[in-house]
Amino acid sequence: QVQLVESGGGLVQAGGSLRLSCAASGRTFSFYALAWIRQGPGKEREFVAAINRSGGTTYYADSVKGRFTISRDNAKKTVFLQMSSLKPEDTAVYYCAASIVFTTTPEYDYWGQGTQVTVSS
């Protein structure tokens, strides 16, 4: 199992940047693919970005491609989401998630508690 704790959310103006972090506990962090998934107000959970075990392969939702970057540090058991050129429609609770399966759907096995990102216009 893996436990996940997100940090780095907050309030930012449109066009600004934020960096989310997700710290994991457990011995098998490098066994898991990791993802960021968000849920905006009144919306369903939406896949944002995913990274495979080694960090060599990443996938992004079309809505964030070119603006967001996912990365991981297996030695520090941490995954990051660098967000730039933020838009009001990026406002959501952002969840870090882990799974044995590398997928671009929100179907992940382990979840953090989420961190709020609010982008003002």
The residue assigned the tokens 């107000």 is: 41
Tokens for 68?
């967001």
Span 73-112, pLDDT tens digits: 999 999 999 999 999 999 999 999 999 999 888 889 999 9
Question: Which pLDDT score, from 0 to 100, does residue 105 have?
Answer: 86
Alpha-helical regions (H) of 13-105: none
pLDDT value of residue 1: 84
Summarize pLDDT for 38-64 with one digit per residue, the tens: 999 999 999 999 999 999 999 999 999
Average pLDDT over residues 3-10: 96
Whole-number Å distance between alpha carbons of 24 and 73: 11
Per-residue model confidence (pLDDT) at position 27: 76
Q: Give bridge partners of residue 81 from the DSSP assignment.
A: 20, 70
pLDDT band at residue 26 under the 50/70/90 scheme: confident
- The mean of the pLDDT values for the chain is 95
